[in-house]
Homo-oligomer: A and B are copies of this chain.
Amino acid sequence: MEYTVQKLGSLAGVSTRTLRYYDEIGILKPARINSSGYRIYGQKEVDRLQQILFYRELGVSLDRIKEIVTSPSFDGAAALREHREKLLEKKEQLELLIANVDKTIALTEGRMEMSDKEKFEGFKKKMIDENEEKYGKEIRQKYGDDTVDKSNAKLQNMTQAQHDEVTALAEQITVTLAEAFKTGDPADELAQKAAELHKQWLCYYWNEYSKEAHAGLAQVYVDDERFTAYYDKEQPGTAAFLKDAIHIYTGMKR
């Protein structure tokens, strides 16, 4: 299959200008130039463009990308695995930031206090991490454990922040559920709110939410005595009540 600039551009979702620029900086040369000077791309170029876009997405500079894709000893699979690693790191970064946002929201809604210094912790940490990413290997060889410690501290902070949110949510569920239980009706507005909160709580642990899984878990709450004990702690029958509420909420009767 052969492509002109526009064909390849629309295939890959980039502009023709971008393709010409990539040609200009020598990162993606067309397979050949036809008699009228048109750029003609082939299969190899499609694959290469894909790789380029992968790395670009990561925020890797075109210069670095050039090094990567023009290297003759280029191990595609290894590069992709590395690529994957970085994406995961970026995801962690994001989660850290989200935690920071949550904290700030909590602040504006009263309660917590945050010193000026604390306010910028998230950003500073980020910068530290970026430095580590750049100079990581050297630093690690030189200072070893210190770096590892920092990384661990970050992780602890993250899970701490997340843990705080989850705990607050769990508390809210308990309260709402106790209120709802008094009505005795799992279809009642309050019980449905508890189910909704429970869904939110669940979403902290599950990447994918499905009604089936939610309903399934509710069943486990009744079937598994450890869960049952937790929910029935204050008021026996609460676990079963929650199960009913969730089954109604999800529309699953099983």
Chain A interface (Cβ < 8 Å from any Cβ of B): 1, 11-13, 46, 50, 53-54, 57, 76-77, 80-81, 83-84, 87-88, 90-91, 94-95, 97-98, 100-102, 104-105, 108-109, 116-117, 119-120, 123-124, 126-127, 159, 162, 204-208, 216, 219-220, 223-226
Contact = CB atoms under 8 A, between A and B. Distances in A.
Contact of A206 (B84, B206, B226): B206
Contact of A120 (B50, B81, B84, B219): B50
A87 B97 contact: yes
A220 B97 CA distance: 34
Contact of A224 (B81, B90, B124, B220): B220
Contacts of A50: 104, 119-120
A131 to B, nearest CB: 11
Contacts of A216: 226
Contact of A80 (B1, B104, B117): B104
Contact of A90 (B77, B94, B120, B207): B94
Contacts of A46: 116, 119
Given A80-B101, A80-B108, A13 B120 contact: yes
A11 B94 contact: no
A60 B115 CA distance: 25
Contact of A117 (B11, B54, B105, B159): B11
27 contacts: A11-B116, A13-B124, A54-B100, A57-B126, A76-B108, A77-B105, A77-B109, A80-B104, A80-B105, A80-B108, A81-B105, A83-B101, A84-B98, A84-B105, A87-B94, A91-B95, A94-B94, A205-B205, A205-B206, A205-B208, A207-B207, A220-B220, A220-B224, A223-B223, A223-B224, A223-B225, A224-B224
